[in-house]
Amino acid sequence: MTGVQALGAWCIAAVAGLGRAGLFLYATLTSASLALRRFGLVVQQVYAVGVLTLLIIVVAGLFVGMVLGLQGYYTLVDFGAESQLGLVVALTLTRELGPVLSALLFAGRAGSALTAEIGLMKATEQLAAMEMMAVDPVARVVAPRFIAGIIALPLLAAMFTVIGVFGGHFVGVVQLGVDAGVYWSSMQEGVDVYDDILNGVIKSVVFGFAVTWIAVFEGYDATPTAEGVSRATTRTVVTASLAVLGLDYLLTALMFGEV
Amino acid sequence: MQSKAIEMAVGLFVLAGILALGMLALRIGNLNTTEIQGGYTVYGRFVNVGGLNVKAPVTMAGVRIGRVTGIHVDPDDFNAVVAMRIEKEFDNIPRDTAASILTAGLLGAQYVGLEPGGSDEFLHDGDEFDLTQSAVVLEQLIGQLIFSQSEGGGQ
């Protein structure tokens, strides 16, 4: 009986949490225009979530591209098709790995920091103090971070993809001897600006929205104790990563299903 | 001073991001090669198009001069009608040019190759090729080979 009760309580809590997250998103979106008018706040947050995440994105993109070049080469060379290496690397990165991996890294690096920061503001009653001074904490603290996340992730994903292509170029062309002209021309022949690149960018915008939403909500909704903030940070990384992977399947099925 | 440095860093970050997007569109993708501005459409009637796809190149002497823009079946004679958009600078293709569906390499992608004829009249928008050669379907070829081999063995 207690098991059933626990299940029921868990379900009710989950649905209530989803409802709070929805209401919170509504409050954030309605105060987004206020945050856009004070653009300096957004710029600061783009620095915090974007510029500071750049290093991990660059390093990860380089190595993922190099691994793709290596794996792709050894798979394709068996079929005598190593001339298509550029296409394999570019399509993998633009369609999937660029948006998805940068979103996962973004959730780990920037999302967790957002949650911890907002959660700690709540635990130290800074948010309550703002309300006392008639400053809306959602407009002042949450909305700029939300907008910054949506701006930063697509840019990071684009950089990830470009650096990955150069990583593949380094391994495939410089080390393994695929012709440089063939590498680039097979890529340009096969990658479509709308079907592949634009869809990849749309994916990363959606991921940016989802990851940042989850991160700021978990921070805002955290139990205001040290333990509560640490739990909220963990939840952000886990939930955001799962959301990215689930959304990725959904978006892929919608975008590439009927080619 | 501090906020100036942050603004600078964010500006560089956004610039790098936009550069990356531009690079994706122009260097990695093919913004300027899939769409043919201007140009004209001609049609070819094939018994079998094999694995020809929309956007496959249309070449003459191995150089791409257009792209396949549509493939459909004519409901009257069940032939495949392939629409090809030719770039506008190639407006002097002879009327008796032959179109054939070829394969790049043994297992490569299929494309349409044009063999120019000698006529003084040129193809215009909406015209149809008189001479076409369908795709070679490898499985049928192998089937024929096996068939002729086994016939030869029976003698």
Q: What is the mean pLDDT of each run of 10 residues along chain A (259 residues)?
A: 89 93 93 85 91 94 95 89 88 93 95 94 93 90 93 94 94 88 83 86 95 95 92 95 95 78
Partner residue opposite B30 with nearest CB, options A94, A161, A191: A191
Q: What is the full DSSP assignment across A134-189? A: T--HIIIIIHHHHHHHHHHHHHHHHHHHHHHHHHHHIIIIIIT---HHHHHHHHHH
Give tens-digit pLDDT for B6-51: 888 888 998 999 999 888 888 777 665 556 677 889 999 988 888 7
Residues of B whose CB is below 8 A from A90: 28
Binary contact (B3, A191; C-beta < 8 A): no
Q: What's the pLDDT at B89? A: 86
Six token digits for residue A18: 């989803």
Residue B42: DSSP 8-state:
E
Q: What's the pLDDT at B57? A: 84
Six token digits for residue A65: 């591209």
Residues of B whose CB is below 8 A from A201: 21
Q: What's the pLDDT at B48? A: 86
Residues 38-97, chain A: which have Cβ within 8 Å of B? 40, 43-44, 46-47, 50-51, 54, 90, 94
**Measuring CA to CA, which residue among B14, B77, B137, B96 is closest to residue A39?**
B14
Which band of pLDDT confidence, cut at 50, 70 and 90, is reported for residue B107?
A: low
Q: What's the pLDDT at A229? A: 94
Q: What's the pLDDT at B32? A: 54
Residue keyed to tokens 């020809």: B52
Tell me how many degrees the CA angle B65-B68-B74 measures, rounded to the nearest 5: 135
Q: What's the pLDDT at A243? A: 95
More confident residue, A61 or B54: A61
In DSSP terms, B42 is beta-bridged to B84
pLDDT surpasses 80 at B153: no
Binary contact (A90, B34; C-beta < 8 A): no
Q: What's the pLDDT at B31? A: 60
Quote the CA–CA distance of B4 and B28 in Å, as a whole number.
34
Six token digits for residue A51: 């510029």
Pick from B18, B26, B28, B33 the residue to mutate for testing the A interface (most A CBs within 10 Å): B28
Going B144 to B149 to B154 to B155, the CA torsion angle's sign is: positive
Question: Within 13 A of A238's CA, how many CA atoms are on the CB side?
Answer: 6
pLDDT surpasses 80 at B109: no
Binary contact (A193, B25; C-beta < 8 A): yes
Partner residue opposite B30 with nearest CB, options A50, A193, A201: A193
Residue B93 class from Cβ within 10 Å (0-12 exposed, 13-18 middle, 19+ buried)? buried
Query: Quick check: pTM over 0.95?
Result: no
* B128-138 average pLDDT score: 83
Question: Within 13 A of A132's CA, how many CA atoms are on the CB side?
Answer: 5
Residues of A whose CB is below 8 A from B16: 155, 159
Query: Is the CB of residue A162 less than 8 Å away from at least one CB of chain B?
Result: yes
Residues 109-128, chain A: which have Cβ within 8 Å of B? none
Residues of B within an 8 Å Cβ radius of A: 3, 6-7, 9-10, 13-14, 16-18, 20-21, 23-25, 27-31, 33-34
User: Nearest CA of chain A to the CA of B111: how many Å?
Assistant: 13
Quote the CA–CA distance of A87 and B108 in Å, as a whole number.
14
Quote the CA–CA distance of B67 and A177 in Å, as a whole number.
31
Residue A252 class from Cβ within 10 Å (0-12 exposed, 13-18 middle, 19+ buried)? middle
Binary contact (B28, A162; C-beta < 8 A): yes
Q: What's the pLDDT at B25? A: 81
Q: What's the pLDDT at A157? A: 95
Q: Residues in chain A, how many?
A: 259
